[in-house]
Homo-oligomer: A and B are copies of this chain.
Amino acid sequence: MVLPDVEVIWLGGRTRESQGYDLTGLFVGSEGTFGIATKIIVRILRRPQAVKTVLAVFDQVEAASESVSAVIGRGLVPAAMEMIDQLTIQAVEDAFGCGYPRDAAAALLIELDGLREGMEAQAERVMAACRENGAREVRAARDEAERQLLWKGRKSAFGAYGRISPAYMVMDGVIPRTRLPEVLNRIRRLEQRSGLRIGNVFHAGDGNLHPLICYDERIPGQADKAAEVAAEILSNCIDAGGSLTGEHGVGADKSRYMPTMFSPDDLALMQRVRAVFDPRGLCNPGKVFPTPRLCGEVPGPYRQHPLEVAGLAERF
């Protein structure tokens, strides 16, 4: 990496174990506030020998949440457990016709990977866990084409929202998995109170939620209301023992919420660590930490790229 004083340093080593302080781990997640990575060496993982994808369909979101807990509770470790709710299912089906039932409350996509031996038996255990927790339909993708179609629904979900809303704000909160039903209920009540539709797409396996707050910026006040709902959702995640970002980072938009997670001492400590690498604050200024300039601002809406609205983004 290149430090702001143009010093070039290497972090990490070639073995799994290293020594000295874990500066690589510190750099990952610093969101560009330490310096610029100009060369990265990654460890390549072998492609799994076998993959099995299961779709479970539910009439109740709670049943889907409980199925997630049941799968994990049985000691199974899927490569992915993705949930989409009714609003998302309808948007996806309108756009692509992937085969999700339009009247379902939630669909759960569970993918197992690993050795061929025992894969069928593991898939059976996953399907049994879903059935016992109230799934109305459970099936495994018969072939690669069907598997791809199911994943297309999940992967194109954000783009498909262009069909049902001119704009949306996508959140990235994390909660402990056990609190899933409770937090989803709170989001449902927020939807009713605000009058804004909120869809849910999430990585259920690690409790990472992506609520999508739909609004129309041409209607006066709606963008502000969406920002208020966004703040309430994050506040609910934090109250449930979670965090305000799972994979998309703090950036500028969420830096204002950092004081809800961290004490002034915590934040001062982080700023001091940052100053070791970047004493003058030249790298990615205004990100991660709340500053006077950002505290008073309202975030801009997420604007869809024209390709996303047309549902074309996933082709590229």
Contact = CB atoms under 8 A, between A and B. Distances in A.
Count chain B CB atoms within 10 A of each CB in A174, A176, A258, A274 and give the residue with the most.
A174
A244 B118 contact: no
B269 A14 contact: no
Given A117-B118, A121-B117, A244 B14 contact: no
A266 interface: yes
B14 A242 contact: yes
B276 A246 contact: no
Contacts of A28: 22
B18 A243 contact: yes
Interface residues of A, number: 62
A23 B254 CA distance: 19
A interface: dominant SS: loop
A75 B115 contact: yes
A15 B205 CA distance: 12
A38 interface: no
Count chain B CB atoms within 10 A of each CB in A25, A247, A275 and give the residue with the most.
A25
A19 B243 contact: yes
A241 B176 contact: no
Interface of A: 7, 9-10, 13-23, 25-26, 28-30, 46, 48-49, 75-76, 115, 117-119, 121-122, 125, 174-176, 206-208, 241-247, 249-250, 254, 258, 261-263, 265-266, 269-270, 272-277, 288
